[in-house]
């Protein structure tokens, strides 16, 4: 893979992972609509992100 492709590869791979995740959620919850699946997908990603960022980032008061 040439360097100019590798730089965006992480984002492309993320799209694939997200699609697989949504397929998995749909299989677990066959009665859910698309919106519910997207919400659950976002929730899972947010949980992982929060765990990874714990102790690294703190909110800043803009004032």
Partner 1 sequence: MTSDQALAHVIDRLERGGVGYLLVGALSSNLYGVPRATDDADVEVSFDGFDVVSFATGLGEEFRLDRQMMIEGFTGTVRYVLHHEPSGFTIELFRLGTDPHHEERFSRRRRLRVAECRSEAWVSTAEDVVIQKLRWARRKDLDDIVNLIAVSGDGLDWKYVDRWTNVHGTSGLLADLRAEAGH
Binding site for partner 1 (CB under 8 A): 1, 3-18, 41-42, 45, 49, 52, 55-60, 62
Q: What is the rounded distance in angstroms from the CA atom of residue 2 to the CA atom of residue 16?
A: 20
Query: How far apart are CB 26 and partner 1 at their closest, in Å?
Result: 16
- Give 18 or 26: the residue with its C-beta nearer to partner 1: 18
Query: How far apart are CB 60 and partner 1 at their closest, in Å?
Result: 4
Query: How far apart are CB 38 and partner 1 at their closest, in Å?
Result: 8
| Spatial CB neighbours of 40, under 8 Å, sequence gap ≥ 6 | 25, 29, 32
């Amino acid at each position: 893979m040439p360097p100019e492709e590798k730089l965006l590869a992480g984002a492309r791979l993320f799209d694939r992972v997200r699609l697989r995740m949504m397929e998995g959620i749909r299989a677990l919850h066959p009665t859910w609509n698309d919106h519910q699946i997207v919400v659950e997908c976002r929730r899972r990603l947010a949980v992982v992100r929060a765990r990874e960022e714990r102790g690294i980032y703190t909110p800043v008061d803009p004032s």
